[in-house]
Structure 1
Amino acid sequence: MHVWKVLELFLIQPLVWIGLIRCYLAARHRVHYERLHFRSAIDAHYLEVRNFFKDGLLFGVIATVVSLALGLVVSPIWVVIYELLAVLSLLLIPTRLTPVTVFGLSWLVYWVLNPSLVAQIGARLRTHGVISLGLNSGVIISGFLILGLGLAATAVLLRRRDTQLNSPQIRPDQRGKRIVRYRWQQLLVIPVGVLIPGDWLHATLPWWPVFQVGTQQFSVLLLPLLLGASVQVYKQQPQVAWRRLAKDYWLVAAVSVIFALAARWLALSPQWLIGLLGVLVVLLWGSLLRHRYHDQHQQFWFSDTDQGVRVIGVRPKTPAAKLNLSIGDVILECNRQPVHSEAQFYAAILTSPTYVHLKVRNVQQELIITETAIYSGAPHELGIVLFTDQED
């Protein structure tokens, strides 16, 4: 019963609901765009919102177990600063996600406000039973480990196929030719159980769990940790690019843990610790810039073609999913008829209403033959997303 009450208090925090609203709006925009440009949505079930709840809870449970096992302690004042900055980032930057930047900035603000302002606020909070921690009490080391947990969770998201939806977005190039951008944008706000000093929550809510460590009492707080990434590709297979980027997230997560261990062993000053947090933010931004540079210097484009019709999307749980097609493949023949437009493609499907036979040139320039049964009399339910025919 107490666990549910703790979770209820997590759910009333503004960051959770603003994150959910932001996630819902992004999913609704994607579905509307797909229906407008491709006649039907690739996935109309608002996958982003489903991941927000399902993966948010899963990663939250894992992160809480690890956090409480390590005894990670944070300052209530830093929690307020972090949540405020996270909310502002979601409201003021509608098309980007900057979780790591917000996390690092929150510690910088906390350090700048120390010791004068935090001391004044801390004195007032102590009258209400709230104990504020200084920067020398190991809270920044807890920050390193919390950041490592967040980066690791993001890396898992980037590698998991069931959290990815390769939604094509059509853009014109410099010559007016249509090209496709694939964007992965997933936002999570996960509940991470952390320890905060004092028994002020227990004094207000007698059922609230309290831990005794030596002479110090700690309460458990579910910190809403903002996670996610917003990345795009123009010239790479999305899954390949996301997996490559996931390795960088894992690497920065490992560096974060190493920094935490080194800080504990060497007893580094707060200035050094804040500087190391800045290094982690720079490392991750460097990884994102390298991802963008690598994409820009590829030769391949997901572009319209005069030789066949290019596959720019495959709807899940449709006959097309059984054809082993990949985005970027070019369909040269359908049911042994050459096709050069979307209209010709669907006309060729109607020549065999229950089965489809395709000749395809994949992105490696290899010719392959693939076939599958289809829904009788419903060629547009095959599940292959193509460039729509342009009006003359």
Structure 2
Amino acid sequence: MLQVWLVELLKGTGRLFLNPVLYYVVFMAAFLGVMRVKRERKNFHIRVQDAYFELRQLFPLGILLGIILSILVVAAGITVPLAIIVLIAVFTFVLTLTTNIRMVSPAYTVGASFFALIILAENNRSIPLFSKAYQSIGEKVYPSIVVVLALLLIAEGILIYKNGSKATSPKLVKSRRGQSVGVHEVKRIWMLPLFLLIPGNTLHLPFDWWPVFHIGAEQYSLILVPFAIGFQQKIQGLLPQEAVQLHGKRVMILGVFIAILSVIGYWYPLLSIIAAAFALIGREAIALVQRMRDESKPFYFSKQNNGLMIIGIIPGSPADIMELKVGELISKANGVAVRDEESFYEGLQKNRAHCKLEVFDTKGEVRFVQRALYEGDHYELGILFVQDERKFDEKIG
């Protein structure tokens, strides 16, 4: 029995590389990185993170979460038809055409696939080339899909909280009054590989109680499915990390709520449909409320009378080594009062071998940082500020 499971595990893993979503998501991560660097260079004449940053974020945390969720799904025997996997892949491709990467949230890709499956099954229709994918579709299948949706939503919230808040990208825009202001933006896509049980001809029922949530078949196969999870958020009124982590918490709470409804749905199948609809509406509501509340606040990264606001820090730069933070305010450089970039640069030139800064942190408390300067260091320490002389194509209307 163990040998059969090991062989099926290897075969299921190999099926991952047959899924075009895997390669598409890698391409999307690379594309997001290139476009971000292009925009940052346009705004600041220098990029913050390199173009491979999004690619480096694609797998690590997603794989860890995928292993945890796979253990839960397989141990509970949550089974789904192959049709839903095909539909999720289709909607992943289609929703990226909206150019809004957050539409690749499981709430939309799995949620839309759930309702598409109901419509196709009720009308006795099948996907061309995948007619066998509709094996064992019955009432039990719908709660199982919503359970997977709920688990993926929880994972999405964790990814946003832990990873989405890292290295958000500074961006320069025009306010309604035509003033140069700054915002932060995050566009990220993650890969979460998840083992799913589908009707097959390999794994027999090892115990009377397994699978707990079956769909009527007597034999099953394992398949490793690459789920894409996209996230996009623009922040103007809060510190980027604070805003993104709040967003992640809300998504996690939504996922837990949907998980509770989905389990009850095994006894009341109609509740599964309600839960899937609530996941779609709830995920959209989280994004809408976040955007409305953020836009009602004044711009966090704007000109200040008592110093120069840091909108970005280049990794590995003197500013990074001195542990300066985004959102802090530089009030003095080598004793020179800082009002704009010119006065900041004048202060640095006062002592080319050493730099001492007076900084207001994000809590408004004064602190002092200093460091020796070396030949080859960035002439502005690797700090990005909101600047007047840049030209912007985007305006906040």
TM-score where L is the length of structure 2: 0.85
Of residues 27, 37, 50, the one that matches 1:44 is 50
Whether 1:229 aligns to 2:240 is: no
Contact kept in structure 1, 2:88 and 2:113, CA below 8 Å: yes
Deviations 1:217-253 (A, max 9, x none): 1000112222132112101011111121122112111
Point out the more displaced range, 32-41 or 255-264: 32-41
Whether 1:74 aligns to 2:86 is: no
Residue 93 of structure 1: aligned partner: 98
Whether 1:62 aligns to 2:68 is: yes
Contact kept in structure 2, 1:10 and 1:222, CA below 8 Å: yes
Whether 1:108 aligns to 2:107 is: no
Contact kept in structure 2, 1:235 and 1:295, CA below 8 Å: yes
Whether 1:212 aligns to 2:218 is: no
Contact kept in structure 1, 2:334 and 2:347, CA below 8 Å: yes
Contact kept in structure 2, 1:67 and 1:193, CA below 8 Å: yes
* C-alpha displacement of 1:377: 4.9
Contact kept in structure 2, 1:318 and 1:382, CA below 8 Å: yes
Whether 1:134 aligns to 2:161 is: no
Contact kept in structure 1, 2:356 and 2:369, CA below 8 Å: yes
Change (3 A) 1:121 1:311: closer
Point out the more displaced range, 371-380 or 8-17: 371-380
Hey, what's the Cα distance between the residues in 2 that align with 1:315 and 1:391?
Answer: 19
Contact kept in structure 2, 1:182 and 1:233, CA below 8 Å: yes
Contact kept in structure 2, 1:60 and 1:191, CA below 8 Å: yes
Change (3 A) 1:391 1:37: closer
Hey, what's the Cα distance between the residues in 2 that align with 1:132 and 1:375?
Answer: 68
Hey, what's the Cα distance between the residues in 1 that align with 2:257 and 2:336?
Answer: 55
Hey, what's the Cα distance between the residues in 2 that align with 1:255 and 1:247?
Answer: 13
* C-alpha displacement of 1:256: 1.7
Change (3 A) 1:362 1:103: same
* C-alpha displacement of 1:145: 2.1
* C-alpha displacement of 1:211: 1.4
Hey, what's the Cα distance between the residues in 2 that align with 1:20 and 1:163?
Answer: 20
Contact kept in structure 1, 2:311 and 2:384, CA below 8 Å: yes
Which amino acid in 1 is paired with 2:101? R
Which amino acid in 2 is paired with 1:212? H
Point out the more displaced range, 165-174 or 282-291: 282-291
Hey, what's the Cα distance between the residues in 2 that align with 1:220 and 1:376?
Answer: 58
Of residues 2, 7, 15, the one that matches 1:9 is 15
* C-alpha displacement of 1:146: 1.4
Pairwise CA RMSD: 2.7
Hey, what's the Cα distance between the residues in 2 that align with 1:341 and 1:299?
Answer: 20
Point out the more displaced range, 167-176 or 366-375: 366-375
What is the aligned residue count?
A: 373
* C-alpha displacement of 1:279: 1.0
Contact kept in structure 2, 1:186 and 1:230, CA below 8 Å: yes
Point out the more displaced range, 60-69 or 382-391: 382-391
SS at match of 2:219: strand
* C-alpha displacement of 1:34: 1.8
* C-alpha displacement of 1:12: 2.9
Residue 383 of structure 2: aligned partner: 384
Contact kept in structure 1, 2:195 and 2:224, CA below 8 Å: yes
Structure with bigger RCO (C-alpha 8 Å, 6+ apart):
2
Contact kept in structure 1, 2:336 and 2:347, CA below 8 Å: yes
* C-alpha displacement of 1:324: 4.0
Change (3 A) 1:11 1:163: farther
* C-alpha displacement of 1:349: 1.7
Residue 22 of structure 1: aligned partner: 28
TM-score where L is the length of structure 1: 0.86
Change (3 A) 1:292 1:330: same
Hey, what's the Cα distance between the residues in 2 that align with 1:48 and 1:133?
Answer: 39
Deviations 1:303-351 (A, max 9, x none): 1345532210122333313434332322121111123332332332233
Change (3 A) 1:388 1:180: closer
Gaps of 5+ in 2: 1-5, 209-216, 392-397
Change (3 A) 1:381 1:65: farther
Residue 394 of structure 2: aligned partner: none
1:165-184 mapped onto 2 (5 Å cutoff)? 165-184=167-186
Quote the sequence identity (%): 22
Hey, what's the Cα distance between the residues in 2 that align with 1:237 and 1:376?
Answer: 33
Residue 202 of structure 1: aligned partner: none
Hey, what's the Cα distance between the residues in 1 that align with 2:13 and 2:280?
Answer: 30
Which amino acid in 2 is paired with 1:219? S
Hey, what's the Cα distance between the residues in 1 that align with 2:316 and 2:228?
Answer: 31
Point out the more displaced range, 293-302 or 145-154: 293-302
Contact kept in structure 2, 1:319 and 1:373, CA below 8 Å: no
Hey, what's the Cα distance between the residues in 1 that align with 2:327 and 2:196?
Answer: 45
Change (3 A) 1:121 1:356: closer
Change (3 A) 1:162 1:189: closer
